[in-house]
Chain A
Amino acid sequence: MAPAYHNYGAWGEPARLWLESRASIDYPGCAVPILHALANPARFLKLARPLTPLCFWCGVVLALIGCWAGLTRTPPDYLQGDTVRILYIHVPAAWLGMAGWGGLAVASFAYLVWRHPLAAIAARAMAVPGALFAALCLVTGSIWGRPTWGTWWQWDGRLTSMLLLFFVYIAYIALARADADRGGDGRIPAVFGIAGTVLLPVIRYSVVWWHTLHQGQSIGLTGSTIAPSMLWPLWFTLSGFTLFFAAIVLMRMRAALGLQKAEARMRRMAAA
């Protein structure tokens, strides 16, 4: 007999597991208590419902304040002039492109170890916005590179590794889809999600360990080499875009769960 979970669409097996888990909501021995609490899908949905608009609107407002301040309230750079203002978009995009994969890897890890279906759904929900922000980082970087470096693109260590991360996102999305289509349980994309983490340190340290055209990092643990008068709007756009990202992920997770519920009901009706 063909696997029945074909009916669960792109989310496949994890959704079936989730539906079954609704009958007996109990995940014993989850290492972290808060993960354990969130592991309950009903509790997750109850929390996600008010959290989605909160993250979305706070994110939009903070990002708009940051963009406005970055465009009008900060001095131009001594060397680059007004061109430098693109960093208020470029830096958050780069951060979310990388943090998105970090989150995807953590969720994949949780799914592999605790087999929690919600973790697989979270990993898939992060892939598309992560890929979008990685693309935004590449595009804004290219636009910034033309007037400053004098080139749209060079195969330098930082640029190439970031482009690879974008391709890895695309591969993950395709793989997760293919896995769901042939009724897989989501383990293969989860392994891929963990393996892709290899790129994160490469991107991070490419400018430190290799000769690159891209400048070194401006913001580290010990401080920043951006003048304070130019730095402050960046915190607004960073936190704003991050909240926006979280809102998209929550929306996608809720949509996936809702879709499964609807499809399961249709299946039950058809069977009756």
Chain B
Amino acid sequence: MKPKHQRFVLAGLALLAIFGASALALSALRDEAAFFYAPADIVGHLPDPNRSVRLGGMVKQGSVERQGDGVTIRFVVTDGKASVPVRFTGVTPDLFREGSGVVAEGHFRADGGFTADTLLAKHDERYMPPQMAGKMHKTESLKP
């Protein structure tokens, strides 16, 4: 084997090892690298109420209700398997809508509900003009 071929095999093996390492890192960091808990992740083992965590999922259709003070809202975050009631006081992001994604920063309460300090809107990877979205996606903002 010529040195050139040796180097080719060596560098090729190194490259394979690197992609293997990257795959291992992706799967091993799955829990640590998660930006938020989905409701199904925490069924049965609620995070410590004193710990600041993020909860992410979809805002359940028809679940948003505005409280009398005008700035507090309650809604349900769901991932299709489980759901968590959330309470939030403050200004919601523009893209916060029913049926759309949301990431709430805050903490769980002992009763299993979630108190959010901050809301982040999460949108999906679909982009389309309003006519096309039509009835498929309700785009109205929250009614006061």
Q: Which residues on A are within 8 Å of B, measured CB to CB?
A: 29, 31, 75-80, 84, 87, 109, 112-114, 147-151, 154-157, 194-195, 197-202, 205-206, 209-213, 215-218, 225-227, 229-230
Q: Main SS of the interface on chain B?
A: mixed
Contacts of A229 in B (CB 8 A): 129, 132
- 11 example contacts (A-B, Cβ-Cβ < 8 A) are as follows A78-B129, A79-B123, A112-B7, A114-B4, A154-B35, A200-B22, A201-B19, A201-B22, A211-B34, A217-B125, A230-B129
Cα of A210 to Cα of B133 in the assembled complex, Å: 28
B125 touches A113 (CB 8 A): no
Contacts of A147 in B (CB 8 A): 94
Cα of A210 to Cα of B19 in the assembled complex, Å: 18
Cα of A149 to Cα of B104 in the assembled complex, Å: 11
Cα of A211 to Cα of B124 in the assembled complex, Å: 13
Interface string of B118-134 (1 = CB under 8 A from A): 01111111111111110
A150 CB to closest chain B CB (Å) equals: 3
Segment from B25-33, B43-51, B67-75, B109-117 that makes contact with A = B25-33
Q: Is B21 an interface residue (CB 8 A)?
A: yes
B34 touches A197 (CB 8 A): no
Contacts of B7 in A (CB 8 A): 112-113
B129 touches A227 (CB 8 A): yes
B132 touches A227 (CB 8 A): yes
B94 CB to closest chain A CB (Å) equals: 7
Please report the number of residue pairs spanning A and B whose Cβ atoms sit closer than 8 angstroms. 138
Nearest to B93 among chain A residues (CB) is A150
B127 touches A197 (CB 8 A): no
Cα of A213 to Cα of B104 in the assembled complex, Å: 11
B35 CB contact (under 8 Å) in A31, A156, A201 = A156
Cα of A211 to Cα of B30 in the assembled complex, Å: 8
Contacts of A113 in B (CB 8 A): 4, 7-8, 11
Given A109-B11, A213-B35, also A80-B123 (CB < 8 A): yes
A87 touches B119 (CB 8 A): no
B14 touches A194 (CB 8 A): yes
B20 CB to closest chain A CB (Å) equals: 10
Q: Is B103 an interface residue (CB 8 A)?
A: yes
Nearest to A212 among chain B residues (CB) is B35
Cα of A80 to Cα of B98 in the assembled complex, Å: 15
A92 CB to closest chain B CB (Å) equals: 16
Q: Is B76 an interface residue (CB 8 A)?
A: no
